[in-house]
Amino acid sequence: MRRLVDLSVLVENSASEPMEIRVERLDHIDGAKHFCAEVATRNAARSDSRRLEPEDFPDGAFITLDTVTLPTHMGTHIDAPIHYGLDCEGSPARSVDELPLEWFYSDGVRLDLRHKQPQDFITIADIKIALDATQHQLKPLDIVLIWTGTDKLWGKREYFSHAPGMSREATEWLVEQGIKVIGIDTYGFDRPFVTMLEDFWRTGDRSYLWPAHFYGREREYIQIERLANLEQLPDTGFQVACFPLRVKGLDASWVRAVGLVNEL
Percent of the chain with pLDDT over 90: 91
Alpha carbons 157 and 175: distance in angstroms, whole number: 32
Residue 44 has pLDDT above 80, yes or no: no
β-strand pairing of 258-262 with 181-184: unpaired
Domains, the chain, ordered by start: 2-15+72-262 (3.50.30.50), 22-68 (no CATH)
Alpha carbons 206 and 44: distance in angstroms, whole number: 63
Residues 139-149 have a mean pLDDT of 99
Closest CA relative to residue 116, chosen from 148, 80, 81, 151: 148
Residues 183-211 have a mean pLDDT of 98
**Which phi and psi angles does 128 have, rounded to 5°?**
-65, -40
Alpha carbons 110 and 76: distance in angstroms, whole number: 17
Alpha carbons 173 and 171: distance in angstroms, whole number: 5
- The whole-number pLDDT of residue 263 equals 86
Alpha carbons 112 and 127: distance in angstroms, whole number: 9
pLDDT 10s digits, 84-102:
999 999 999 999 999 999 9
- Burial of residue 46 (CB within 10 Å: 0-12, 13-18, 19+) is exposed
Closest CA relative to residue 138, chosen from 178, 182, 185, 184: 178
- The whole-number pLDDT of residue 45 equals 75
In contact, 156 and 12? CB cutoff 8 Å:
no
| Phi-psi category of residue 178: left, alpha or beta, with phi > 0 → left and psi -120 to 50 → alpha | left
